[in-house]
A and B are shown apart, each in its own frame.
Chain A
Amino acid sequence: MDIEISPADQPFADEVQAWLDEHLVGEFAAHRGVGGPDDSAAWDVRARWEKELAAGRWLGLTWPEEYGGRGATLAQAIIFEYLYARAQAPYRLNVQGQDLFGPTLLMFGTAGQKARFLPRILAAEEFWGQGFSEPDAGSDLASVRTQARLVKGNGEGGGTWVLDGQKIWMTFGASADWLYVLCRTDPQSSRHHGLSMLIVPAHQPGVHIRPIRNMLGEGAFCEVFFDGARTSADLVVGQPGQGWTVAMAALGVERGTLLMPQQLGFEREAEHVLELARERPGAAGLSHRLVDCWIAVRLMRVTTLRTIGELVAGRPPGAQAATSKLYASVQHQRLLELATELLAEDATVTGDNYALAPLQRAFLLSRAETIYGGSSQIQRNIIGERILGLPREPRPA
């Protein structure tokens, strides 16, 4: 079940495939299928791979050429992602820069900001971290308390923002060079008013980034402390006070294509689990559940292809675009629960130093999939209110 490639795009597809054939070799080929949205495995190899991609100008394909993109069509970007995922090229590290902050800056940034930041994202020179969640602002993002005050000055940027507060759950924060941070810039404001999106250099005395060990024992997430951290007054995305709109745009960047590599990964995982089932005595009682998991994974792909078809045709994506994250995250957990049941005691032991087998890693990592990017409960609120038009929960006055 493949994506459709138009005759006009066939040369482009051939170019992508030829490049992958030529460059996905050596240590990169040895790390096929490695990594995931919150999986820091094989970091150094993946960082080198990202440089390789940058040299081939395969990052930010749809971005304008002046910022290092190719001005490619959405259809071409989808072809690239599909062939990339099919080749099992390592999962890219700078998702924050390439897929979330970059597209947001293209929408809201000044010419100067775009010229300064976008080319370095596509050159894989600067990595980005997202500073949205706080200890007391998780699903309720509008409770953000991190403060930024503008200190007037005559310098190049016309002054300085000074930040105080704490952010949490910053994916790959320890490797970030720049942060985009949702701050309260009007101290009198509440909820989604008076917020601003600031661009903050990570490497400075006022920024302290501390990895949080996740349940795998790895430090993919970080917490970040701002203690008089500084950034130039002109490094605000959109207008001061417009931060909520900018943050929602960042979270709303179409993920139809982003799901594809993950889902092709799920399919390989499902194949692997079926393979195990064929070999293991005692799998017979699991046959119907295995079939259901296999069905779910196949349906994820169909659903993604439905969304892609609509996007390429320039139609607004249907309801399935809103339900796919909820569906995929829940079903993926179910697949891995079944895989570990199939492995029985083999799933209960690790290598030395808590070295985990791939299915064990996936099993543990999948716990986060129903939490990050909007928990399943928040997804259900969004589906209920924005797609089905059900009334909002009355908010406390």
Chain B
Amino acid sequence: MNFLRSDEQLELRSAVRDFLAAKSAEPEVRRLMATETGYDPAVWAQLSDQLGLPGMAIPEQYGGAGFGYTELGIVFEEMGRALLCAPYLSSVALAAEALLRCADEAARKDLLPGLAAGRTIGTLALLEQPGRWDEAAVQLRASRVQRAAEEGMGGPARGETGWVLDGSKRHVPDGHIADLIMVGARTPAGVGLFAVDGAAAGLTTTLVPTLDQTRKQAHLEFAGTPARLIGDAADGWPVIQDVLRTAAILLAAEQVGGASRAVEMAVSYAGLRVQFGRPVGSFQGIKHLCADLLTEAEAARSAAYYGLSALATGSADLPVAASLAKVYCSQAYTRIASDAIQVHGGIGFTWEHPAHLYFKRAKASESLFGTPSYHRDLLAAQLALPPAVSSVEV
């Protein structure tokens, strides 16, 4: 196993970093997080047209650049550093991944080129109850009906049999701006994967105010909403499961980027802030804390690299690698962002200082795609450990 980044990959890193330094500086992040859409369409168009970032890891036959997960990980890391406000995670790690991993070639041909070019913004609507990322929790109903009208997404024509969705999805990343919503729904045969047009009839999206204002969420209501079945009505869950694993790893790369930036901010401040006639970073109380933060950030980087490597090699280890990355990077980012506030002292607690932006992104990322506890349960099962229940009878 080789975790070395090639010279070309390092060049990609600096190109993306330069772009984001110009387009996603702190004032811009603050401006966008206060908007309803939460992103700048002009910057999105630039990162799509100039850098080709949405299609980075999509094969060329579907309009992408055909790079791998290692490159994609670099992009996510840089976006995490810059706290980029854009629907990249939802479009790339969720919607595009769902199409790439499904067994429906026609859907791929229809829908991937738009995502690859950044013309379509996509997401995945899965969660119905807080913390429930498992198959049994998917209850939104999909039913077969006779189509009354033409639908979007290249589905069946008027008069043919089609599918409609009824129910609700919660905390859908960028669900308020998505043109294409991939949905996990309960069919008579099991869990199916569906594609829904963001403008479909019977779909209501409600933007939810979020703790982390740099990433938006929406609650979605489906009422007889026409949907296109992707693949088979019973084979959606394995696809969704792999999408969640992939997204957890790409999110881990984003978390590493944010965590590394938080360490840099803390260290820089500790070197400048003078108390008792010395920079506070010369005191071991602060210096050792900073050293621990770097140690934690480097371990988190190893966790993300391990996950990315499992993705890049198509390893059977993916379930383990994804949960490992999710557990470790989630906790590391939250701890690092929290201690970065501590190093800054009072100023770190203010709205004007960016420390809270990282802390809130860390906290919100922690539960996205499953909390650390949930992923520890998954790992315990993978390792054939007894389930984490109390052995004490009350």
The residues of A with any CB-CB pair to B shorter than 8 Å are 1-4, 274, 277-278, 281-285, 287-288, 290-292, 294-296, 298-299, 302-303, 305-306, 309-310, 313, 315, 318-320, 323-324, 326-327, 377, 379-381, 383-385, 387-394
Contacts and interface: CB of A to CB of B under 8 A. Distances in A.
A35 to B, nearest CB: 27
B294 A319 contact: yes
A111 to B, nearest CB: 36
A380 B292 contact: yes
B299 A290 contact: no
Contact of A381 (B271, B284, B384, B390): B284
Contacts of B385: 274, 277-278, 283, 287, 290-291
A389 B306 CA distance: 28
A291 B383 contact: yes
- Nearest first, the 6 closest Cβ-Cβ pairs linking A and B are A309-B4, A384-B287, A383-B291, A287-B388, A390-B281, A380-B291
A303 B298 contact: yes
A309 B327 CA distance: 25
Contact of B328 (A284, A299, A324): A299
Interface stretch (B31-39, B72-80, B156-164, B372-380): B372-380
Interface string B108-129: 0000000000000000000000
B305 A306 contact: yes
A291 B327 contact: yes
Contacts of A299: 299, 302-303, 306, 324, 328
A314 to B, nearest CB: 11
B295 interface: yes
A302 B303 contact: yes
Contact of B388 (A285, A295, A319, A327): A285
A250 to B, nearest CB: 23
Interface in B286-333: 286-288, 290-292, 294-295, 298-299, 301-303, 305-306, 324, 327-328
Contacts of B384: 274, 278
B387 A391 contact: no
Interface string B362-394: 000000000001001101100111111111000
Given A283-B386, A318-B298, 10 more contacts: A295-B303, A306-B3, A306-B305, A309-B4, A313-B4, A319-B298, A381-B284, A381-B291, A390-B267, A390-B279
A319 B256 CA distance: 14
A277 B379 contact: no
A394 B282 contact: yes
Contacts of A389: 267, 271
Contact of A288 (B281, B291, B298, B388): B388
Q: Is the interface of B mostly helix, strand, loop or mixed?
A: helix
Interface of B: 1-4, 267, 270-271, 278-279, 281-284, 286-288, 290-292, 294-295, 298-299, 301-303, 305-306, 324, 327-328, 373, 376-377, 379-380, 383-391
22 contacts: A274-B383, A284-B390, A285-B391, A288-B373, A290-B383, A295-B328, A299-B302, A299-B324, A302-B303, A305-B2, A305-B3, A319-B298, A323-B291, A323-B298, A326-B295, A380-B287, A383-B291, A383-B295, A384-B288, A390-B270, A390-B287, A391-B281
Contact of A284 (B4, B270, B282, B387): B387
Nearest to B6: A313
B3 A302 contact: yes
Contacts of B377: 287
A388 B385 CA distance: 39
Contacts of A3: 1
Given A2-B1, A385-B287, A306 B302 contact: yes
A277 B379 CA distance: 14
A349 B3 CA distance: 44
A377 B288 contact: yes
Nearest to B317: A1
Contacts of B278: 391, 394
A297 to B, nearest CB: 11
Contacts of B270: 390
A327 B3 contact: no
A383 B281 CA distance: 12
B262 to A, nearest CB: 13
A13 B390 CA distance: 48
Contacts of A295: 303, 324, 327-328, 379
A294 B375 CA distance: 13
A327 B281 CA distance: 21
A288 B282 CA distance: 37
A392 B287 CA distance: 9
Interface centre among A283, A284, A313 (most CB of B within 10 A): A284
Contacts of B298: 303, 318-320, 323-324, 327
A283 B386 CA distance: 7
A310 B305 CA distance: 14
A387 B3 CA distance: 21
Nearest to A320: B298
A237 B247 CA distance: 55
A260 to B, nearest CB: 13
Contact of B376 (A278, A287, A381, A384): A287
Given A4-B1, A302-B302, A390-B281, A380 B288 contact: yes
Contact of A379 (B291, B386, B391): B291
B281 A282 contact: no
